[in-house]
């Protein structure tokens, strides 16, 4: 079971900041950092530019992944749809999309990006990832979600059985910067969660998936995975 108090804090944060954060795709995030007082201006000046570089890298990888793996008529789940950037891209590829997020502000932002025809092919669902399994789909994008949940088994239970392809990212618990953020919690400004890489990869394999491609991404990693086909 996920920590409900932590979920509530994350939800409140992104209800307020998702529109500001989406600026990362154009210029830089304008989100309002909480809990670090006088460190906030320094964080924005020195850390945000580094995060922008990683966001650009992440974005290019995901767009290339969508171009390669998504075609017209597929049913795709965009879990944690955020600003709706990838929901829009998936719809432009001709897919049908289930877009979920736990923040209504994210769904509103996503809806505003879509034209009438795209809205007819898109279900916008207010849902927290741990609440229930998603419907059966051809492919799942789960971008920027694991950094905000404590239990990878939620992905195993609610996403992996429902798809043949899963793209997700997570933050490494053994990365030196994440170790520092774990020890000095005031530096963990978004209250991130961190995962052991060996545990993640072992769990993926134990549940019948292969890692097809991986991308080192800042203090974490993005994994493209596919269900192992039985001969």
pLDDT band at 231 (very low <50, low <70, confident <90, very high): low
Distance between CA atoms of residues 103 and 83, nearest Å: 10
CB count in 10 Å sphere of residue 71: 11
Distance between CA atoms of residues 35 and 26, nearest Å: 26
What pLDDT, in 10s, does the model give residues 122-159?
Answer: 999 999 998 999 999 999 999 999 999 999 999 999 99
How far are the Cα atoms of 107, 144, 210 from residue 30, in angstroms, in the given order? 19, 17, 37
pLDDT value of residue 189: 80
pLDDT value of residue 1: 42
Q: What is the mean pLDDT of residues 19-29?
A: 73
Average pLDDT, the chain: 90
Residue 63's domain is classified under what CATH number?
3.40.50.150
Which residues neighbour 99 within 8 Å (Cβ) at sequence distance 6 or greater?
Answer: 77, 78, 81, 84, 87, 107, 110, 122, 123, 124, 125
Q: What is the mean pLDDT of residues 58-86?
A: 96
How many angstroms from the chain centroid is the CA of residue 140? 11
Task: State pTM to two decimals.
Answer: 0.91
Is a pLDDT exceeding 90 seen at residue 44?
no
pLDDT value of residue 229: 84
What's the domain count of the chain? 1
Range with the poorest average pLDDT among 30-44, 61-75, 94-108: 30-44
CB count in 10 Å sphere of residue 94: 12
pLDDT value of residue 51: 80
Is a pLDDT exceeding 70 seen at residue 36?
no
Range of the domain at 112: 4-227
Is a pLDDT exceeding 90 seen at residue 82?
yes
Say which residue, 42 or 84, is predicted with more confidence. 84
């Amino acid at each position: 079971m996920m920590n409900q108090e932590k979920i509530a804090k994350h939800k409140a944060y992104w209800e307020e900041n998702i529109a500001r954060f989406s600026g990362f795709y154009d210029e830089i995030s304008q989100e309002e950092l909480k809990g670090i007082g006088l460190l906030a201006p320094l964080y924005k000046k020195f850390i945000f530019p580094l995060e922008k570089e990683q966001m650009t890298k992440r974005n290019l990888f995901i767009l290339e992944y969508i171009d390669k793996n998504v075609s017209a008529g597929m049913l795709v789940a965009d879990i944690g749809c955020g600003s709706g950037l990838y929901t829009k891209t998936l719809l432009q590829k001709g897919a049908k999309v289930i877009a979920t997020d736990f923040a209504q502000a994210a769904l509103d932002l996503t809806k505003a990006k879509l034209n009438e025809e795209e809205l007819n092919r898109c279900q916008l669902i207010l849902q927290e990832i741990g609440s229930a399994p998603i419907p059966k789909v051809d492919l799942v994008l789960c971008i920027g979600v694991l950094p905000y949940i404590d239990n990878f088994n939620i992905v195993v239970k609610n996403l992996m059985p429902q798809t043949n392809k899963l793209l997700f990212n997570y933050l490494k618990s053994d990365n030196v910067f994440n170790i520092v953020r774990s020890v000095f919690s005031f530096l963990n400004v978004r209250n991130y969660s961190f995962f052991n890489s060996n545990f993640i990869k072992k769990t993926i394999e134990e549940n019948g998936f292969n890692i097809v491609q991986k991308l080192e991404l800042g203090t974490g990693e993005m994994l493209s995975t596919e269900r192992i086909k039985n001969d």
